[in-house]
Homo-oligomer: A and B are copies of this chain.
């Protein structure tokens, strides 16, 4: 038995509560009864508990004596380290923070097929320890390299071979994309979509879902996970041909060139502004996030138990695009988002992306605008979570807001109008569109297909 357990209310036995209590919006989602029955079966089948434990208590994780960095005893998976950032951008010239370092590239792979004239996606009901509602819908394959090369001695990753060796199948998407730039140090994952012609039976953990239904389900709070959203956003949708991105790229090169962001890893223990306790790591202000330990017990076909550190954000975030039609074409107000952990200082992010509680004195530009939007201008408004394998109970309110006359046509220097088609073209390349913007693009696909 562990010495330290806290916040045990966070423990949720998957079968404790019914499906519609967990995801009330499912009732109005428009998906069919068969799907709901499947989801209910999965919820009842998977049993899971997640307990918060002290960092120092985690089995198989090692707190380096000299640096305090947190590492797995195998040397694989990921580490938690310190990062010092010095920048000419923004109001804070330098700071230190804990950051997750995961140099290996994982696969986020979605199998799709054409069925009765409809595109269908093979999704998975997946437990992840950071999900408050325990289970979410993930892509067919969602695996770090440590997972699929079986560093954890677990079972083989189903359907992996379609992505590592697509052979005669049609690869629709294959691109490296970044993840949360404030929490991950230069993390990137391989986003893939593979179209299969053959028919095969899938076991009950997986299910073929019409892409339109999957998009509908984005409106259900905390159901479609981040990796599914990221992959979906890369799926070419509608318009063909290559849009002209010249003006957009020039603006972006200009913004990036005006600022320096110099980062260096530092020992995690002793970074300024943070308290490194045996239980967890917190910021002196109580803001931003904590680094916590969890003990996970999960049972599906087999029982698994493991410990791991997680990043637990403080406060709910707001992630929003303001949308405006120019000559009948939907444009989004993108912001060049500078973050310490991205590969090249900045990526194209949403109009607003912040945790309001962190900015009580100087709210970020347009935050009040999106939070104050009248109901008729809210195209999308759903709380979704980020990567449940690394982030503990993260919540962002994803919003798509239609601009009214109060919203400026001429944007401030760090903002630029981009058409959906332009962003889709840039998604063929890595590291342009950040993960929050990709999530919102997936939500916008839902709005556009009438879901």
Contacts and interface: CB of A to CB of B under 8 A. Distances in A.
Interface of A: 103-105, 107, 145, 171, 174-176, 188, 190, 242, 246, 249-250, 253-254, 256-257, 260-262, 264-265, 343-344, 428-431
B174 A260 contact: no
Given A249-B428, A344-B188, A260 B104 contact: yes
Task: Please name the 5 residue pairs, one residue from A and one from B, whose CB atoms are nearest each other, closest first.
Answer: A103-B262, A242-B242, A105-B257, A174-B250, A190-B257
Contact of A257 (B176, B257, B428): B176
Contacts of A105: 256-257, 260
Nearest to A251: B174
Nearest to A266: B265
Given A103-B261, A103-B262, A253 B343 contact: no
Contacts of A253: 174-176, 190, 430
Nearest to A250: B174
Given A107-B257, A188-B344, 18 more contacts: A103-B260, A103-B261, A103-B262, A105-B257, A174-B249, A174-B250, A174-B253, A175-B253, A176-B253, A176-B256, A190-B257, A246-B428, A249-B428, A249-B429, A265-B265, A343-B344, A344-B431, A429-B429
Nearest to A81: B264
A50 B124 CA distance: 65
B176 A344 contact: yes
Contacts of A103: 260-262
Contacts of A175: 249, 253
A249 B430 CA distance: 10
- Residue from A242, A253, A256, A431 with most neighbouring chain B CB atoms (10 Å): A253
A254 B429 contact: no
A267 B150 CA distance: 34
A343 B347 CA distance: 14
A250 B193 CA distance: 12
Nearest to A191: B253
6 contacts: A105-B257, A174-B250, A176-B344, A188-B344, A249-B429, A253-B430
Contacts of A145: 260
Contacts of A242: 242
